[in-house]
Amino acid sequence: MSEKSKKSAAQIQEELLAKAIENTVALNPLVGVSTDDIKSAVKKTAKQAAAQPSKVLRYSKRFGRRVADILKGTDEYDDAIKDRRFSDPSWEENVIYRKLKQAYFAWDESLDELVDDLDLDGLDLRRAKFVKEVLTTSMSPTNFLLGNPKALRKVVETKGNSLIKGLKNYVNDLQHNHGMPSQVDKSKFRVGVNLATTEGSVVYRNEQLELIQYRPRTSKVYRRPLLIVPPQINKFYIYDLTPEKSFFRFCLEQGFQVFVISWRNPVAENRDWGLDEYVTAASQAIGVILDITRSKDLNVVGACAGGITSSILSSYLKETGRNVVNSLSLSVCMLSMKSKDTEMSVFTSPSSLQAARIRSREKGVLEGPELSRVFNWMRPNDLVWNYHVNNYLMGEAPPAFDILFWNSDSTNLPAQLHCDFLDLFEHNLLEEGEMEVLDTTINLRTLDCDKYVTAGLSDHITPWKVCYQTTQFVGGNIKFVLSSSGHIQSLVNPPGNTRARYYCNEELPESPDIWLEHAEQLEGSWWTDWSEWLKERSGERKTAPRNLGNRNYPTMEAAPGTYVYS
């Protein structure tokens, strides 16, 4: 293979990674959209179009005239949007391919105009635009061998081997990936072998969780321990990928005593586990941590759904007389939730949310793999057809990347917990102070421990302006920090990345735009800023314990434990 070809393959892999990292379903369990919802949206849009045949005919004729102009060369579509799918030189140099590209853009534009003219509004209009996007991206000529000059060249260069490899990839995905193109080469990773390798031991286990204590990496540690609460929809080792990316190792090297919850992957029999059960399980884990460390209180970290759980847990403990959470750190976490603020708002009508509740109760769980498949179709060009072209037409293996492997290692949500999250999402119960857990009203306004809140500037899963609203209704002294990256890279943000930036502003005005306008941009990772903030809230230092656990809670399995494999 030539150096030019190698560079091209590397660029393709880099593009796939960049898209996939920030388009993961990870940490986003708030809406249980199913493939039935997508099919229903397609049928409803088709029915609405069929009910207005005169408009369909008008735009069909207009499209026909545009194609005729393109074929005659009188309409070049020079202003067509630059699209990486058509970056191969053949799309400009070859007259047939050039006109095919122009016709495709003319069709896309005609459908846009038709949808805008169908007399739809609100939810119906958003769904029609979604259906149109799925249709046009699916029918891009680059998705077909004859319409993809780069793939055709590779067939010639490899004497047909790329087609054979592509067929093998397709058959493998049919058998092992529900017919969806794989986003990651899973063969390169093993949890506990080259992922989640930080040294520690399980020190407590109940039905919902395992509690892992990690071995100190400094001779002295801060007296106040740190508990990390991951989201329930994905496994905890997003915080412990490779040693270079491990948040756990970073915390240990700062001298913190680190404990983490590893949630059990529920099955249908666990359908009744809701926030009551998860808060009970986590509060039991906190009791174990305080017993082992002989500390009166602790600091807590939570991300996305784990941040929601942490906030509810902290408020519950305070309201019931156990004021043991000294500080709370929340990352990419929406406590003020309104359906219109999310990318999945197209499927968040009251009826669709109720349908999601019913499906979860019938199955017993919200299935993680199903949620992943649906989420991929929310961004079909980035998360479906990119991989279709790479894996099948080009015959390339998908990237071998740790974050993508973790994202594919999804878990289920028990039906009751899913319904509890949907209630939060639909009725904004946390901000309104109307939520009850274990017969206790959760009031985040009276939760006055110090808080460190982070969000991602380009995060589309938990938009940063929604995350910012936490500063306006949650009690206590709050510091808000905005990472310059997206959802996942705001979490996996180790020091040393020369491109990392974050914004700080000690003032917390009502408007997030005003906050950003007056914020200071700083170089580096927010991890370092957070660790200095947390050190001030972690007490004195003491000699690091030689052994993990204690007499009451002896060590069990080595990290990453057993629940991570379920």
Q: Which residues are catalytic?
A: 304
Strand-strand pairing, 325-331 and 450-456: parallel
Rounded Cα gap, residues 88 and 393, in angstroms: 15
Which residue, 14, 3, 70, 119, is CA-closest to 396? 14
Q: What are phi and psi of 195, to 5 degrees?
A: -135, 150
Q: Indicate the burial class of 444 (C-beta count within 10 angstroms; 0-12, 13-18, 19 or more).
A: buried
Q: What are phi and psi of 159, to 5 degrees?
A: 55, 40
Rounded Cα gap, residues 533 and 256, in angstroms: 12
Q: Write b or e for each residue in 127-154: b if 16 or more Cβ atoms lie within 10 A of its Cβ, otherwise e.
A: bbbbbbbbbbbeebbbbeeebbbbbbeb
HEC string for 33-97: CCHHHHHHHHHHHHHHHHCCHHHHHHHHHHHHHHHHHHHHCCCCCCCCCCCHHHCCCHHHHCHHH
Structure tokens at 89: 């030189």
Structure tokens at 245: 């990316």
Rounded Cα gap, residues 195 and 192, in angstroms: 5
Q: At 459, is the secondary structure helix, strand, or coil?
A: coil
Q: Indicate the burial class of 174 (C-beta count within 10 angstroms; 0-12, 13-18, 19 or more).
A: exposed
Rounded Cα gap, residues 540 and 289, in angstroms: 17
- The amino acid at 120: L
Peptide bond into 560 cis (omega under 30): yes
Rounded Cα gap, residues 49 and 322, in angstroms: 59
Task: Give 260's strand partners.
Answer: 212, 228
Which residues, at least 6 apart from 314, have a Cβ–Cβ distance to it below 8 Å?
Answer: 300, 325, 328, 447, 449
Q: At 182, is the secondary structure helix, strand, or coil?
A: coil
